[in-house]
Structure 1
Amino acid sequence: MQELTDYILQIGNINKQQIELVESKTAILDLKKDAYFSEAGLIPKRVGFVLEGVMRGCYYNNKGEEITRCFIGKGNLVVDYPNFEANTASSEYLQACTDCKIIVFSKTDWEELSNTIVGWDVIKNKMVQQCLYQKSRKSPVISQDATTRYLAFLKNYPSFANRIPLAYIASFLGVTQQSLSRIRKNIR
C-alpha cells in the first residue's frame, strides 16, 4: 500500500487521515497470468494500481488479429479510463502478462473519494493523465524497421523482455514471432 501512497504524494498533497481514507477504499487483487482486469464489450468498473507484474492493453483488429497496444508495469494505474468515466463498453482488453498484484478501487469508491477529499479531483486528474500518457507514448512507430522498434521497446521496457511472452512483444511491435526471434538473435 505504501507504493500507492508514495505515488499519490508525488502528485499532490493529502494528509494522514485522507491517506487512510484512500487506503480504506482499496482491495488487493491477485491476477493470474492471462487473466483479464477488464474486457472488451463490458463496462470497466474498477481502477487498479499495479504493485507487481506486467499488464497489457490489447484489442482485435478487423482481421481478427490480436494487437498489443501498450504495456503497464509496476507503479502505474491500469484502467480504460475514457470508458470507465463514461460508463460505456470498452473496445479493448486489459490482461495480465505475468502474475500481478493490483490495488483496486471500485467505481463507487473511486467516485466517493472525489466527494470526500478536497483536492482529490486534481490528484485524480493528474494520475489519469499519467495513465493515458503511459498507455499512448510507447507505441512503436511502424514506419521504423522492426529492429529499431525492438531496440526502442528494450529501451522503454528494459525489464519486460524476459518476463512477458514473445507473442505479446511481437504483436506490440507489429511483427511475427519468427521475425522477432530473428531480430533478437541478430542483436545479441
Structure 2
Amino acid sequence: MKTLAPSYLKHQFLIAMPHMADPNFAQTLTYIVEHNANGAMGLVVNRPQELNLGDILEQLRPDQEPPASTLHIPIYQGGPVQTDRGFVLHSNDCSYQATVELEGLSLSTSQDVLFAIAAGTGPRQSLITLGYAGWEAGQLEAELADNAWLNCPFDADILFAMASEMRLAQAAKSLGINLSLLTSQAGHA
C-alpha cells in the first residue's frame, strides 16, 4: 500500500470558503509563508486596519513626525497571533536584518524595513501586517479536508497590484470560481 506524502501549501494563497464561521478568517485571503509537518503560518492579506504606517512609526519614534507619504500606506490584520508584531511581505529587491527569502518574495520582521519604506528607499512592492495566522501540526490539513479553505497558486499581482477588497474574488477567479455564487449553506443540504 502506498501512502501519499502530504502536499504542503507553502507559497500559495488560501481562500476562505463562504461558510467559514471563524470571524478571524471569514472572507479572507491568506498567503502561506510556511507549511510543513509541524504546522503552518500565514498572513491575511485582504484586511486593512484603521492603522497606517505613519501610526506605527509614531509609536516606534515618538520624537519624529512620520513622512506624509506614510499616511497612505495601510497596515493589514495578518491574523490573530502576536497582533503587536509586524510582518512585511515584499518584493525581493531589498533585504533587511530579519529577512527570509521566499519564492520570488521576501518576508521581513525587523523595523528597518518600515523605516526604509517610509523613507522611500524600501522594496518596490510591500504589504505590512500586524499579527499572523498559525495552525498546529495537521490542523490546516484537517480544515482543508473539511472544505473550510480552497488553495490557489500565489500571484504577486493579486498581492501588490490590486485593491484589498478585490483580492479574495480575484484569487477565487484564478481557479474559475465565483465566490458570490457559493452560498454559506454549501454542504448542508
Give the TM-score taking structure 2 as reference length: 0.28
Higher-strand-fraction structure: 2
Higher-helix-fraction structure: 1
Give the TM-score taking structure 1 as reference length: 0.28
